Homo-oligomer: A and B are copies of this chain.
Amino acid sequence: MNIKMIRFKKIGNDVGHLTPVEGELDIPFSIRRVYYITCVPNGVTRGFHSHRSLEQVLICLSGSVKVRVQTPFEEQVIQLGDSAEGLYIGHMVWREMFDFSEGTVLMVLASEHYSESDYIRDYKIYEKEAVAYFDDKGGE
């Protein structure tokens, strides 16, 4: 699957922790957009989409959250709760975020500005495109 965990260097001392993430150096793309998700009520699941060409890195800055990443061929659930690690999600991966603990701050770094046409929000359409995409990639 087009995902991987990335470990960042947290600089921690007696005045707190600072974690830098440099575009193109610590993550495999330039950062064109940042967004952050807060105040998610208990029991809510978000996401339910894939991107055709956007790449993202999800970092849980406070609290914890689970991310289900899936393709037509495999599925994983990854718990994020350490601000020194990021979940890279590449092309054509369906994602759902759930089990947000109270006060969770989920930050996402994205490789492009917002473009609605890059989203696939219908799982049936996603499944069809993804089968063709991963077939072309030799079942990556």
Report which A residues bind B (CB closer than 8 A).
12, 14-23, 25, 30-41, 44, 46, 61-62, 83, 100, 103, 105, 107, 109, 113-114
Q: Are B114 and A20 in contact (CB under 8 A)?
A: yes
B39 touches A17 (CB 8 A): yes
Q: A12-B39, A103-B103 are in contact. Are A20 and B46 (CB under 8 A)?
A: no
Q: Which of chain B's residues have a CB closer than 8 A to the CB of A103?
A: 62, 103
Number of copies: 2
Q: Which residues of B contact A39 (CB under 8 A)?
A: 12, 16-17
Tell whether, in the assembled complex, residue B38 and residue A83 are in contact, meaning their CB atoms are under 8 Å apart: yes
Per a CB cutoff under 8 Å, which of B14, B19, B37, B44 touches A36? B19
| Residue in contact with A16 in the complex, picked from B18, B31, B37, CB distance below 8 Å | B37
A16–B46 contact, CB under 8 A?
Answer: yes
CA A12 to CA B36, docked complex, whole Å: 12
For the A-B complex with A16-B37, A19-B36, A34-B109 known, give 4 more contacts whose Cβ atoms are closer than 8 Å: A16-B46, A23-B33, A30-B32, A38-B83
23 CB < 8 A contacts A-B? A14-B44, A15-B40, A16-B38, A16-B39, A16-B40, A18-B35, A19-B35, A21-B34, A22-B113, A22-B114, A23-B34, A30-B30, A31-B32, A31-B34, A34-B109, A36-B61, A36-B83, A38-B83, A61-B105, A61-B107, A62-B62, A62-B103, A107-B107
